[in-house]
Amino acid sequence: MLKLVSYPLSIIYNLCFFLTLVIFHPIQWFCFNVFGYQTHKKSVDFLQLALMRCANILGTRFTFTNPYNIPTNRPLIIVANHQSLHDIYPLTWFMRKHHPKFISKIELGKGIPSVSYNLRHGGAALIDRKNPRQSLPALMKFGEYIESNKRAAVIFPEGTRSKDGNPKKFQIKGLEILIKKIPSALVVPVTINNSWKMLKYGKFPMGLGIHLTFTVHKPIEIATFVNKQDLISSVETTITEHIKP
């Protein structure tokens, strides 16, 4: 019965989601080209909030737990598990004061209203996963940007989304590069739960009444770990131990 109800609500949701992206695209362009980064950043923040309100149509709820007073005057490396595209806009909104910037596959840099524009102009790293000669320099440049501007790099080390919520083994190369290029950063592990359930029926219809939770764990000073492999293993363990089936 719930799946049956989901069909009309999913149609309304998808329409609102698409219209939101279309409406915010020229807003982003105007803010970026007329007023610059800070105003563009605010337009992106409100885009994320609008996308969350779209998800409320499906009865989606969001809980963000962050008991730590994370400073805004130093760079961050936010490391999270990845369950669906619905990880991204709530995480961006809740961490907005840290200016989160994502590592994304290069294909997303074109053709998607609002999203592609922000990826190209908002400070993200667009990488070609099949071309190390492009992706490695792009990641290094991205790390230098985060370090010099004291912003937050967001990385999903699993590489691809988990379709059933079960964590995948971290692919650590990208994280190693960020740790090397952002030596003054705090590493912030984040566990995301239940966003995969938004797509439990596939792309259509959407899951209803899903409660997405984002749990921020204790930030880690890079310098406290001599062996960076131990740091990465500790972060992976912290994240995966809090993933709920």
114: domain CATH number is 3.40.1130
Distance between CA atoms of residues 66 and 108, nearest Å: 29
Among residues 46, 50, 43, 40, the alpha carbon closest in space to that of 17 is found at 50
- Residue 138: predicted pLDDT: 93
166: pLDDT strictly greater than 90: no
Q: Which domain holds residue 131?
A: 2-241
Number of compact structural domains in the chain:
1
**pLDDT greater at residue 203 or residue 50:** 50
For residue 159, the model assigns a pLDDT of 79
Give the three-class secondary structure for 155: strand
Strand partners, 103: 125
Question: What single DSSP character describes residue 128?
Answer: -
Report the share of the chain in percent with pLDDT over 70: 100
What does the pLDDT average to over 176-203?
A: 95
Q: What is the mean pLDDT of residues 196-218?
A: 94
pLDDT of residue 165: 83
Please report the pLDDT score of residue 162 as a whole number. 83
The predicted structure's pLDDT at residue 161: 81
The region of weakest confidence among 1-10, 28-37, 228-237 is 1-10
Query: What pLDDT does residue 114 have?
Result: 97
Note if the pTM is more than 0.85: yes
